[in-house]
Chain A
């Protein structure tokens, strides 16, 4: 079945450093791709999404480009802040038989940004 693999953490950076979190996927069709963020003790929030190849999702300084040729959706930010400390999940949309949608998540990457 479809799957998502993202780089294992934890990742620790200094403030204003460049961030990359790698995400690759396996899918039989053409899924939409997502990055969700989870702050401590909270639910997940959608960070950005891309629905087709070569689309770039962006939000709050984060970017990710849907690369069909490399089956990747890497998350990047040019200058991280302490407030970006969280767990980041890569996900893709898939469908059960009968057409019902589901999300397939990676295991998450914990990011800590130090001042």
Chain B
């Protein structure tokens, strides 16, 4: 089955620690996205990538980093510079022709 997988489902971060969230897709989509969702809020775009080896900052990129070494994978690192990382993180991908974004199941990040 084609789809997007995110791991882990829950992630705990200690103060000063960097953590990496995984996102993999087998939909053969060129574009991939990372969003942050806070309670009662809509989704805010962190980073996006239109093609392998290229990515751009979204609206709230500070304290985050990404890489896009393979078409299927778009990992997100939450660095120690992100002072309020507790949130639900969603990865998405899209075929540029169809325009629709498809979402993974999400990773909930909590700070210890």
Contact = CB atoms under 8 A, between A and B. Distances in A.
The prevalent SS among residues of B at the interface is strand
Contacts of B6: 43
Q: How large is the interface on A (under 10, 10 to 19, 20 to 34, 35 or more residues)?
A: 20 to 34
A93 interface: yes
Contacts, number: 51
Contact of A43 (B45, B58, B104): B104
A57 B104 CA distance: 23
A100 B49 CA distance: 9
Contacts of B104: 43
Given A43-B105, A107-B41, A100 B100 contact: no
Contacts of B102: 46
A44 B96 contact: no
B42 interface: yes
The prevalent SS among residues of A at the interface is strand
Q: How large is the interface on B (under 10, 10 to 19, 20 to 34, 35 or more residues)?
A: 20 to 34
A60 interface: no
A100 B56 contact: yes
B43 A105 contact: yes
A32 interface: yes
Contacts of B40: 107-108
Contacts of B67: none
Contact of B99 (A4, A101, A105): A101
Given A93-B99, A100-B48, 7 more contacts: A36-B103, A43-B104, A44-B90, A45-B103, A102-B45, A105-B42, A106-B42
Instruction: Give me the 8 closest cross-chain CB pairs, A-B, nearest first.
Output: A105-B42, A43-B103, A44-B103, A107-B42, A105-B43, A43-B105, A43-B106, A43-B104
Interface of B: 4, 6, 31, 33, 40-43, 45, 48, 50, 56, 58, 90, 92, 94, 96, 99-106
